[in-house]
Amino acid sequence: MEGHSLVLPHRFGRYTLFDFIGRGGMAEIYLARVKTDSGASRLAVIKLILLEYAGNKTFADQLAFEAKLAARLDHPNVVQVFDLGREADRLYIAMDYIEGIDLATLLRQCSARGIALPANFATTFVVEVLKGLDHAHRRSDDDGKPLGIVHRDVSPSNVLVSLEGEVKLCDFGIAHANQVVTAHALGDALVGKAGYMSPEHARGESVDARADVFAAGVILWELLSGKRMYRKSETTSLIERAKTGDVPPFDAAHLPDFERIRGIVGKALAANRDDRYATSALLQKDLESWGRASRMMGSQLRLGEWLTETFGTEYIEKRRERARRIRELEDDSRMATLAQLAEEDRASRRTVPDVPSGPLLEIIESLSLPQSQVETMPLALPARVKAPAPTDGNPMVILLAAAVVTLFALGILAFFAR
């Protein structure tokens, strides 16, 4: 896949980027491996903010603030953010890797293969997204004060589904950081998301949780209808259509208990936020009730099986193979580093020049003397002492010698007698 600025694999701080996932309006997205404090490794997704955004201090500060809020979210339907920082002048966000596919890509694959997304799975997707939204909207700080988290970018590209059928919402708060940058700088990043904006959001007004409810309603409308809700024309852009909140008729009459689901969709997409579901939990309750009564709720297990059966795991297997090769490279690099350190350690211990081993040196080594003493020990044996010249047998000399020996013996006996 083209469009990224780095040559892979690329070492980025404590991360090794090895696969390019895609590019959004404000970031390049990579799959990476990272070493944990315990020495183990894990996969992570790195959102590498484009330089033109990272250099904007207001944007960077807002992004940091939003990412810290997102890091407080801990829910099965929310992708966990665990790191935010700057490396080599590039701002980045690190989050958990979900082995699967995003909903936008899934829909494109369905369209390319002429496969319809089963309606029961469409209901499951939106119900699970609403669970994650409800958790975020109700999240409070340590003092119990609501954090006021609003996603602002609930769209298919931010809805992930794993091969096990887990549905997770990602990128909380990043859209809010985008708003501090001018519309000119945002360009297609803003236009591409306009189809899921609530009217008040598109008009630039303040937003609350009901803006996310509207966006979830758009996804529900599209998944059940099998087509885009807003379409730009020669005279009207997506952003202009979003500002009016003029929702096309929901004509999925093939659905069971159609009038009931049409009422649910209509309330979620009310142009006036006061007429909308006040919370995502209320929309989730009505949608789940309809889904169960109409047998239009798919299980997580079955969703995962359908993904695998329909699309296979070829691209996942390729990604796993790339990850395996990177792991091997890292292991080889670590072993090479250890070997280099060992060699440097051995070199630092070589304080004595290599010399032929002699008898005295062997004795010193057997005593395990400190290395500094080995250096100062003479390696030459002392000169032999000459023996006294033999005597001529003079009696006086003999008597004198005998006296000396006797005195020496008496001295030894006296010493041991003490």
Residues recognised as catalytic: 153
Show the 3-state SS of the chain. Answer: CCCCCCCCCEEECCEEEEEEEEECCCEEEEEEEEECCCCCEEEEEEEEECHHHHCCHHHHHHHHHHHHHHCCCCCCCECCEEEEEEECCEEEEEEECCCEEEHHHHHHHHHHHCCCCCHHHHHHHHHHHHHHHHHHHHCECCCCCECCCCCCCCCHHHEEEECCCCEEECCCCHHHHHCCCCHHHHCHHHHCCHHHCCHHHHCCCCCCHHHHHHHHHHHHHHHHHCCCCCCCCCCCCHHHHHHHCCCCCCCCCCCCCHHHHHHHHHHHCCCCHHHCCCCHHHHHHHHHHHHHHCCCCCCHHHHHHHHHHHHCCHHHHHHHHHHHHHHHHHHHHHHHHHHHHHHHHHHHCCCCCCCCCCHHHHHHHHCCCCHHHHHHCCCCCCCCCCCCCCCCCCHHHHHHHHHHHHHHHHHHHHHHHC
